[in-house]
Structure 1
């Protein structure tokens, strides 16, 4: 099943498959998400979902049962 993934604030849209890692989807769309440990511990790759829920992109994938998935990127001045 294909899911339309929109990366904000730049409005980059990428078609992804359910279960595909968010970092891979972002890379394919030319969207940079910084990483650190790539295990979800350092939170360098933290992004927000449309409802404001923070997730670590390095350990998260495209969920099932959704046609659209919105990821809000923000930069952490510490990283």
Structure 2
């Protein structure tokens, strides 16, 4: 199943497959998500992902994949000034 992924704040849109790693989708779309450990421990790759309830959850992009059950997914990439 194909999912339309929208990366904010630049409104970059990419097509992705369910289960595809978010970092791979971002890279293919030319969106840079900072990384550190690539295991979810350092939280350098934190992004906000929109929920069905209209809220946002914070996830580590390095250990997350495109979820099933959605036709569209919004990911807010923000910079942590500490990194």
Aligned-pair CA distance for 1:3: 0.2
Which residue number corresponds to residue 53 of structure 1? 57
TM norm structure 2: 0.94
How many residue pairs get matched?
79
Secondary structure of the structure 2 residue equivalent to 1:53? strand
TM norm structure 1: 0.98
For structure 1, the 5+ residue unaligned runs are none
Query: Structure 2 CA distance, aligned partners of 1:43 and 1:52?
Result: 16
Q: After TM superposition, which residue ranges in structure 1, 4 or more long, deviate above 3 angstroms?
A: none
Query: Structure 1 CA distance, aligned partners of 2:32 and 2:42?
Result: 17
